Amino acid sequence: MMALNKLSFECLRSVKNGLFKDARVLQVARVKMSHFTYMPDAKPPVGGEMLKMNMFQAINNALDLALKTDDSAIIFGEDVAFGGVFRCSIGLQKKYGPERVFNTPLCEQGIIGFAIGAASAGATSIAEIQFADYIFPAFDQIVNEAAKYRYRSGDQFDCGKLTIRAPCGAVGHGALYHSQSPEAYFAHTPGIKVVVPRGPIKAKGLLLACIRDPDPCLIFEPKCMYRAAVEQVPVGDYISPIGKADVLKKGDKITLIGWGTQVHVLLEVAQLAKEKFNISCEVIDLVSIVPWDRDTIIESVKKTKRALVAHEAPLTGGFGAELAAAIQEDCFLHLEAPVARITGFDTPFPHIFEPFYLPDKWRCLQAIKDLIDY
């Protein structure tokens, strides 16, 4: 679907220069990633040895564990053999051999069709789509095939050993085809699970959960955190449960719900709301889009009586609509204001206008103010 683009080229260059040792690249990165500040996870999910990792290193670590603990596991996609354009599979082919970590031809429908077949025949298949923006050629294989394999065969055949990884979300300068957040397209498809990590610890745990889950899973990895998000990650094996939201900050006036990078925007917004307006926000990372954790969300909104959902994807048909409908259904008598949705606009994702497109902290902050004043 794509040639080596500017984005991946920049990655390669920064690797060549020794991971952000080039001050110019670092500066560029800082400026372009200014819409959020990474907030490391407060506590590790398991004990044991910890290592400082960014998100691509945590993902690499999870893939390493997956290959080590499961002889049937294979990793493939465009350019994964040399380590991937985002370095997530670096070193793995050398360690596990070209039969288990390999390049495919440049064809997304082929990658996912191949992955479904391999999974149905017993291989733990970990397929990479280079950018979530390029997952659409494989939409048919995911929606009509992977998601329905078990159901239509009466549980005689399944492709539960399939995991699809795809970098998603805004990156500062990705424009139309290196920025998309397509989770809502997949949320409408019974039979698959969809998750989005907010950082290295979560990415490792969720990826291992997806790989070992008995159903086909999609994990959308916010690409702007591959390098920007750094924290202490347990080196041991652990999974982060699919279908479980995380309450990251307790509060009692309003519930803020997001996923992926947007979680960090919301954590900062919560601080701002406290400082500027003395409003106490509860911040929830939804983590899992399908199946999503209705109980945690509803419990929180019943307490705070107000809810704001924020996501990078466009408003209309975005997953925020599902959340808003469910909240109004389950919390009708508790709500003191309509559920607010602060999202990308109903336009394609623009290049030079990105700062005006994103649901940034200022738009979210104003929405909080409006909800309180309603």
Instruction: Tell which one of 109, 232, 280, 328 touches another protein (CB under 8 A).
Output: 109
User: Per-residue x/- marks for another protein, 25-64, CB under 8 A?
Assistant: ----------------------------------------
Instruction: Give start and end residues of each alpha helix (H) in the chain.
Output: 6-16, 23-32, 55-69, 92-96, 108-120, 139-140, 149-152, 183-187, 200-212, 225-228, 262-277, 294-304, 319-330, 354-357, 361-373
Q: Rounded to the nearest 10 degrees, what angle do helices 294-304 and 319-330 cross at?
A: 60
> Which of 29, 119 has the CB closer to another protein?
119
Pairing of strands 281-285, 246-249: antiparallel
Can residue 121 be called a binding residue for another protein (CB under 8 A)? Answer: yes
CA 193, CA 311: separation in Å to the nearest integer? 18
Instruction: Tell which one of 155, 278, 332, 352 touches another protein (CB under 8 A).
Output: 155
Minimum distance from CB of 295 to another protein (Å)? 8
> Which of 182, 191 has the CB closer to another protein?
191
Can residue 190 be called a binding residue for another protein (CB under 8 A)? Answer: yes
Contact 173, 129 (CB under 8 A): no
Q: Which of 108, 145, 231, 312 is labelled catalytic?
A: 108
The partner residues of 291 in beta bridges, in order of sequence, read none
Tell me the window of 80-88, 112-120, 229-237, 297-305 that interacts with another protein (CB under 8 A): 112-120
Minimum distance from CB of 282 to another protein (Å)? 22
> Which of 243, 338 has the CB closer to another protein?
243
- List CB contacts of 326: < 8 A, sequence separation 6 or more: 294, 297, 298
Can residue 310 be called a binding residue for another protein (CB under 8 A)? Answer: no
CA 81, CA 69: separation in Å to the nearest integer? 20
CA 267, CA 308: separation in Å to the nearest integer? 13
CA 313, CA 181: separation in Å to the nearest integer? 5
Per the annotation, the verdict on 35 as an active-site residue is: no
Can residue 212 be called a binding residue for another protein (CB under 8 A)? Answer: no
- List CB contacts of 164: < 8 A, sequence separation 6 or more: 112, 115, 127, 128, 129, 135, 142, 216, 217, 218, 219
Can residue 150 be called a binding residue for another protein (CB under 8 A)? Answer: yes
Can residue 300 be called a binding residue for another protein (CB under 8 A)? Answer: no
Tell me the window of 38-46, 143-151, 169-177, 359-367 that interacts with another protein (CB under 8 A): 143-151
Distances in Å between the Cα of 81 and the Cα atoms of 78, 93, 101, 208 are 8, 6, 6, 20
Least Cα distance to 319 among 254, 253, 258, 233 occurs for 258
Q: Fill in the DSSP letter of residue 133.
A: G
Q: Both ends of the chain: CA-CA distance in Å? A: 47
Tell me the window of 156-164, 222-230, 253-261, 305-313 that interacts with another protein (CB under 8 A): 156-164
The partner residues of 343 in beta bridges, in order of sequence, read 311
Q: How many Cβ atoms sit within 10 Å of the Cβ of residue 67?
A: 23
Per the annotation, the verdict on 178 as an active-site residue is: yes
Minimum distance from CB of 291 to another protein (Å)? 4
Tell me the window of 101-109, 173-181, 327-335, 356-364 that interacts with another protein (CB under 8 A): 101-109
Tokens of 355: 């700062």
Instruction: Tell which one of 44, 45, 117, 241 touches another protein (CB under 8 A).
Output: 117
User: Per-residue x/- marks for another protein, 61-100, CB under 8 A?
Assistant: -----------x-x--------------------------
Burial label, 255 (beta-carbon count in 10 A; 0-12, 13-18, 19+): buried
User: Per-residue x/- marks for another protein, 258-297, CB under 8 A?
Assistant: ---------------------------------x--x---
Instruction: Tell which one of 4, 69, 140, 362 touches another protein (CB under 8 A).
Output: 140
Distances in Å between the Cα of 288 and the Cα atoms of 76, 99, 151, 192, 202 are 24, 32, 22, 11, 11
Minimum distance from CB of 145 to another protein (Å)? 5
Can residue 316 be called a binding residue for another protein (CB under 8 A)? Answer: no
Active site residues: 108, 178
Using CB under 8 A, list all residues that contact another protein: 72, 74, 102, 104-105, 107, 109-110, 112-123, 125, 137, 140-141, 144-145, 148-158, 160, 190-191, 193, 214-215, 243, 291, 294
